Chain A
Amino acid sequence: MKSIITIGLPSKGRLKDRAIAFFNDRGLRILNSDKERNYFAVIENKSNIKIIYLHAKEIIQRLGDGTLDIGISGLDLLKESEKNLQDRINIKKKLDFGDANLVVAVPDDWIDVQTIADLEEVSFDIRSKLSTRLRVATKYPNLTNNFLISKGVTQYKLVSSLGATETYPFIGSSEVITDITSTGKTLEDNNLRVLKDGLILKSTACLFISKKRIGKLKSLLNSLKLI
């Protein structure tokens, strides 16, 4: 009996469509369930492959705990995850969709702040005037921390955000933000501007595999032309 291979794909939107197309284009046709909201699917003529639709963040977690053998998700989500999780996951291929940048953005009208060096100076101003720290709202605390520290910004405090981070500077919840952006439109429409050297991570959708299972995935990766 062949062992079952479990693949996790994003459950929503463009990322889902492009992930399905990735398999279809390589001759592995995905057959979805008749029930519209069912989370499971199979691949035509491959009884040993199981497909599960999951939240993109969940895909990283499940690859890490061994529930999934293969998954498509964002590089940003992998890099943000805990180190012990990252150690268990291989980036097999960067895919040509899901491009997005994690960036540091400030209010457009902070015309004196163009670079991280400026931000560092302003953070000291805030510290000495108000004796508080510059607040940075983000959904990506780990990546943001590492980036800011490496650029010499120390006088800040993270505010964790679950969504609509772009509003934070204008409702008094933070002064600046870091967020993921693909076209820059949401930032622009909310009067925010990316710093000139404020690129934290260039992200894209990736095909990840669980390191433990590399052996049993050989023939599948072969047919996906990934070996």
Chain B
Amino acid sequence: MKSKKLSELIINTFKKNGFVLSEPDVLLDSEYIIQRSGENFRRSMLTFENENGKIMCLRPDLTVASCIKFIEKKSKSKIYYSGQAYRRTNNKSSDLINDQLGIEILGSKNQTQDDYKVIKTILDSAKRIKSKNIQIKVGDINLFKCLINSLDMPERWKLRLVRHFWRPKYFEELLKRLEKNSDIDAVTFDTDKKRFNEMKKMEQDKLIAGRSISEILKRFDKKIKDPRSFNEGKYIVKIIRSFLKINCKLSKLDEKLLEFVKKNNLKKNIFSKLNSIENLKKLKQEANFITNFGRDIEYYTGIVFEIFSGKNKVASGGRYDDLLKSLGAKKNIPAVGAAINLNNI
């Protein structure tokens, strides 16, 4: 009963800030989720086969379920939800059923303003139920992208590092590989070069296992021209590691970034679009900025944050500009959202 009262308090704060209720479906087509989240996610889902032979799952996450609802044009853009999400984990102590209470702005038109709105609303809700020792941690996935794009290294390495940023363990393996300059791509192309010339004479539209000959040849050509090995690996990894150590008060962020850029002889203007982060100073709430942060969820693309009460994480969220498109939306639909963790209150 206590938790019911708490959720009412929170929901009232959501409503007051202009968020309207969305009730996403409990059952989702699991192929849809796999298509987006990848095969590895299958083991986290609770699934069954329906009478038509379709594999259905209980919604593993309310953000994803809300996005699906929005794409089906069945919800408003500024929504809140309150319900259960169902997910299996390897961790025996964590629950199968999670109560989630959150807000989303789907189709966010003003990034700075909407990021602020979401964080402010969640912070106010958290404060209404837990006022002691409230702390915020923030990060920005986009800053890492800015850094990588400013460094001088082969394009495919840039893509790799950005793609795998959200998987810290594999990311570390990549850094080690980069450090040793042992890009496993470095192989000889002599025999394939012969086949390359043969294939050039073939019909270029012909498909081989779903890929056209022209597409294969184009990528082959690009690979040969891309630098095979480079000596800067160690230096670049050093820069990345030192970037990931940045952890400071939000008020000191400009200073810290400038110091970092100077120390590593990088251009001053590599970190663009800091507005959203800078704007958080208006919260008048002590916040820590951490670069090595928000790296456990694949879909975050911009600002990420967590709210703590003492040691308990009571809320978390972030910006996810690519998720809706990857779930089947026809165009890019930027979005930002956050959820309260009722179990920790």
Q: Is A154 located at the chain interface by the 8 A CB criterion? A: yes
Would you call the interface of chain A mostly helix, strand, loop, or mixed?
mixed
Q: Is B208 located at the chain interface by the 8 A CB criterion? A: yes
- Determine if B209 and A175 form an interchain contact, defined as CB atoms under 8 angstroms apart: yes
Q: Is B210 located at the chain interface by the 8 A CB criterion? A: yes
Q: Is A176 located at the chain interface by the 8 A CB criterion? A: yes
Shortest Cβ distance from residue A123 to the other chain B in the assembled complex, whole angstroms: 10
B residues less than 8 Å from A145 (CB atoms): 39-40
Which of B39, B156, B195, B326 is the one whose CB lies under 8 Å from A156? B39
Select from chain B the residue with minimum beta-carbon distance to A150.
B170
Number of interface residues of B (CB under 8 A): 35
- Determine if B208 and A107 form an interchain contact, defined as CB atoms under 8 angstroms apart: yes
A residues less than 8 Å from B213 (CB atoms): 109
- Determine if B211 and A110 form an interchain contact, defined as CB atoms under 8 angstroms apart: yes
- Determine if A169 and B163 form an interchain contact, defined as CB atoms under 8 angstroms apart: no
- Determine if A122 and B156 form an interchain contact, defined as CB atoms under 8 angstroms apart: no
Q: Is A117 located at the chain interface by the 8 A CB criterion? A: yes
- Determine if B184 and A111 form an interchain contact, defined as CB atoms under 8 angstroms apart: no
Which of A115, A169, A175 is the one whose CB lies under 8 Å from B185? A115
A residues less than 8 Å from B195 (CB atoms): 109, 111
Residue-wise interface mask of B (186-223) relative to A, using a CB-CB cutoff of 8 A (1 in contact, 0 not):
01000010011001000000001111010111011001
Number of A-B contacts (CB under 8 A): 92
Residue-wise interface mask of B (110-143) relative to A, using a CB-CB cutoff of 8 A (1 in contact, 0 not):
0000000000000000000000000000000000
A residues less than 8 Å from B209 (CB atoms): 106-107, 110, 169-170, 174-176
- Determine if B223 and A157 form an interchain contact, defined as CB atoms under 8 angstroms apart: no
Shortest Cβ distance from residue A130 to the other chain B in the assembled complex, whole angstroms: 8
CA distance A152 to B170 in the complex (A): 7
Q: Is B251 located at the chain interface by the 8 A CB criterion? A: no
CA distance A92 to B40 in the complex (A): 32
Q: Is B248 located at the chain interface by the 8 A CB criterion? A: no
B residues less than 8 Å from A110 (CB atoms): 208-209, 211, 216
- Determine if A175 and B210 form an interchain contact, defined as CB atoms under 8 angstroms apart: yes
CA distance A115 to B223 in the complex (A): 12
Would you call the interface of chain B mostly helix, strand, loop, or mixed?
helix
- Determine if B40 and A157 form an interchain contact, defined as CB atoms under 8 angstroms apart: no
Considering only residues 315-330 of chain B, those with a C-beta below 8 Å from chain A are: 326, 328
CA distance A152 to B40 in the complex (A): 11
Q: Is B88 located at the chain interface by the 8 A CB criterion? A: no
Q: Is B35 located at the chain interface by the 8 A CB criterion? A: yes
- Determine if A111 and B192 form an interchain contact, defined as CB atoms under 8 angstroms apart: yes
- Determine if B211 and A175 form an interchain contact, defined as CB atoms under 8 angstroms apart: yes
Q: Is B34 located at the chain interface by the 8 A CB criterion? A: yes
Q: Is A50 located at the chain interface by the 8 A CB criterion? A: no
Q: Is B295 located at the chain interface by the 8 A CB criterion? A: no
- Determine if B38 and A156 form an interchain contact, defined as CB atoms under 8 angstroms apart: yes
Q: Is A133 located at the chain interface by the 8 A CB criterion? A: yes
Which of B40, B164, B208, B328 is the one whose CB lies under 8 Å from A109? B208
- Determine if B196 and A111 form an interchain contact, defined as CB atoms under 8 angstroms apart: yes
Select from chain A the residue with minimum beta-carbon distance to B220.
A112
Q: Is B174 located at the chain interface by the 8 A CB criterion? A: yes
Which of B34, B159, B170 is the one whose CB lies under 8 Å from A121? B159
A residues less than 8 Å from B174 (CB atoms): 152
A residues less than 8 Å from B167 (CB atoms): 152
Q: Is A51 located at the chain interface by the 8 A CB criterion? A: no
A residues less than 8 Å from B34 (CB atoms): 133, 157
- Determine if B164 and A157 form an interchain contact, defined as CB atoms under 8 angstroms apart: no
B residues less than 8 Å from A169 (CB atoms): 209-210
- Determine if B35 and A109 form an interchain contact, defined as CB atoms under 8 angstroms apart: no
Shortest Cβ distance from residue B217 to the other chain A in the assembled complex, whole angstroms: 8
Enumerate 27 A-B pairs (CB-CB under 8 Å) in ascending A order.
Answer: A107-B209, A109-B208, A109-B213, A111-B199, A111-B216, A111-B217, A112-B216, A112-B219, A114-B185, A114-B192, A115-B187, A117-B160, A117-B183, A126-B210, A130-B210, A133-B35, A133-B39, A148-B39, A152-B160, A152-B174, A156-B38, A158-B39, A169-B209, A170-B209, A172-B210, A175-B209, A196-B184
Closest 6 CB pairs of A and B: A169-B209, A112-B220, A112-B219, A111-B192, A107-B209, A154-B38
- Residues of chain B whose beta carbon lies under 8 Å from any beta carbon of chain A: 34-35, 38-40, 156, 159-160, 163-164, 167, 170, 173-174, 183-185, 187, 192, 195-196, 199, 208-211, 213, 215-217, 219-220, 223, 326, 328
Given A115-B184, A126-B210: 16 more A-B contacts, CB < 8 Å: A109-B199, A110-B209, A111-B195, A111-B220, A115-B185, A117-B184, A121-B159, A125-B219, A132-B35, A133-B35, A133-B38, A154-B39, A155-B38, A158-B39, A175-B209, A175-B210
